[in-house]
Structure 1
Amino acid sequence: MNTESVYVFAKWQVKEGQLDVVLELLQEVAAKSREEDGNLFYNLHQSKQDANTLLLYEGYISEAAVEVHRNSVYFQELVIGKIVPLLQNREVVVAAQI
């Protein structure tokens, strides 16, 4: 298993009229993510050109920590269950620093 730090870059395009709901849910996700043992940081950004475009930049101690994050109850309930249906598009890239 790879124990190098892993970084997640996500670009979310929120459906028109759903931004406030997504931002509220995302604050809870961010707080819970930052509490995880394997989390290095969880940063949220909003495009200046299009308020409905959100960028997430996350750091984890390992690939295993990313899996723990993705399989957590809150991630499944909040992100997969509540946020994803409010998104027009969702792109996620998992990367290692070079």
Structure 2
Amino acid sequence: MENQNQVHVFATWKVKEGQIENVLNLLQTVHDESIKEEGNLFYKIHQSNSDLNTLILFEGYINESAVTEHRNSAHFQDVVLGKIVPLLENREIVLAKPLEY
């Protein structure tokens, strides 16, 4: 598969004090559902070494349409937007295309 249209998502979440375990538990469901999506290439969750309340999500999709489908999915709408976002202090998202050298 060529990488021309792939989209990678880098999401940095600053979790409110005392909520990290709740967010990680909810993220397990999001991960498990996201990797079943037809357009998903990978969904990786990282925790900062210097601030355990900071999570970095690294996601890969076959194209922008797959990102849109992910954002419109029930698990994204219900769990991410409905349950996780209220537990965050800050949320930054960057969409990027991989470059080949």
TM range (shorter): over 0.9
Runs of 4+ in 1 over 4 A off after TM superposition: none
CA RMSD of aligned residues (A): 0.8
Match of 1:81 in 2: 82
**3-state secondary structure, aligned to 1:70:** helix
**3-state secondary structure, aligned to 1:35:** coil
Contiguous gaps of at least 5 residues in structure 2: none
Residue identity (%): 59
For residue 74 of structure 1, report the CA deviation from its aligned partner.
1.1
Alignment partners' CA distance in 1, 2:46 and 2:12: 10
Alignment partners' CA distance in 2, 1:96 and 1:49: 27
The 5 A counterparts of 1:19-98 are 19-98=20-99
TM-score, length basis structure 2: 0.93
Match of 2:13 in 1: 12
1:20 partner amino acid: E
**3-state secondary structure, aligned to 2:38:** coil
Contiguous gaps of at least 5 residues in structure 1: none
Alignment partners' CA distance in 1, 2:96 and 2:59: 10
TM-score, length basis structure 1: 0.96
Alignment partners' CA distance in 2, 1:74 and 1:10: 17
1:54 partner amino acid: L
